[in-house]
Amino acid sequence: MKIRNKLAMAVSAATMAMAGSAAADVTLYDYQEANSSYEDAYVNGQFSATDGNGHSQSAYNANIALDYDRVMSSAQRNIGLKANVDGSLSRGSGAGADTESNYIATGSATADTYFRPGSKGAFWYGSGTLGLKKDADDPFSKIGVGLGYGRVVNVTPMAKSMRLIEALQQQGALRATPSKATYLSVAQVIAREAEYRSKHGLDSYEQYWISDIEKALMASGQVKGSLNAASVIKSRDVLVNEFISTRKHGWLVRAGLGMVLSNYDGSDGGDPSLDIGAEYHRPLNNQTQFSNVAHFSSIFSDDDTGYRLSNAMSLTREISDKVDWENSWLLDYNKAGDNAGTDITTNTLTSAFRYYLNNQLDLTLTAKASKTDDDLANGNEKTDTSLNMGVSYRLR
């Protein structure tokens, strides 16, 4: 009997060790589902004011920005929609200073269609861009078509699956660490949140969604009976109340030709363009996301030809469930044509802490440094620095 008990204990220990090893091997890279979507939409606002101390009028500066990013992915096609609106209202402290306002808005749509559905290989794409700017003669509009290679996968559902299973383990709701297959199964149900919302309605979908997530966990055999009330509440808290920033993995490159239909300066459209782009995204772990997006565009004009090169690098670190640390570096180089003025290089470094009051509202502390170089500055360029506190509201 003692030998049998010892053998049972050894088998149990080995099973737990294997489960622990399987858990250690689970990463965000294991999620390769092509059918997914995500939507990020934020409204950011900042306001500052200074008193004139009785000698001049008070000065103020208000900024508001809307950022929207949506990607709908399937085995055959990825559709991306982006929009950005920046507006400002300011007044100086000098006597009689006027109020000044400014705005710029851009929107774009891109559709990548893969020659072999479900692959990470070659695709063709079509794109369109529209821009509006205050005091511009015309809107900016452009269309393009080209070829590309690679695929970027939204792995946020896997990040949520790992977070959920970790929380349930801490509650003691699971007998042992589930297998990698269970993590993937739970992630696949999490990824279908929009489907549940559409089918059952905004007020009722959560019960069906979380119920199917529970079924995926129970299929692993590691749930003690079924999830109790505390575990269900915890599941909802992780999936609905906690915010996890978008996690992406993969790379792609694209190159194509475009045509400018209209421009801000009111010049006639019809100028062709060459466009080259590249993206690289890698979650360093479940708390850290690295991304780099580069773009080159040259417009060929009879009068003049220049080009623009931009590179946006970002690193986001989840400090805790309530705090994200976002860092970015934007390099923008505008090469003017022979008859179009000066070359301009802008470097902007930003570091921001976001404190989430809830899933939609957060307080943001942002430090920013920006330097613009041009041919006429003669080495006298200045670096503009700022430290601002603002509020951000997550629409989606």
| 56: CATH | 2.40.160
What is the per-residue pLDDT for 9? 43
Mean pLDDT over 206-231 rounds to 84
Domain-located, residue 65: yes
Domain interval for residue 148 = 51-153+247-394
Are 220 and 363 contained in the same domain?
Answer: no
Among 253, 213, 69, which Cα is nearest to 154's?
69
Same domain flag for 58 and 179: no
What secondary structure does DSSP assign to 321-341, as a single string?
A: SSEEEEEEEEEEEEE--TTS-
Same domain, 145 and 162: no
Whether residues 225 and 359 fall in one domain = no
Based on the fold, state whether residues 275 and 353 are members of the same structural domain: yes
Q: Model confidence over 336-393: pLDDT tens digits?
A: 766 656 788 899 999 999 998 877 788 888 898 988 887 655 555 778 888 888 888 8
pLDDT digits 0-9 by tens, 124-181: 999 999 999 887 888 889 999 999 999 999 999 999 999 999 988 888 888 888 888 8
274 and 360 share one domain: yes
- Contact present, 147 and 255 (Cβ < 8 Å): yes
Q: CA angle 127-312-304, nearest 5°? A: 60
Co-location of 257 and 231 in the same domain: no
Residue 196's pLDDT band (cuts 50, 70, 90) = confident
pTM score above 0.85: no
Same-domain pairing of 14 and 73: no
Average the pLDDT over 316-326 and give the result.
Answer: 91
Percent of the chain at pLDDT > 90 equals 33
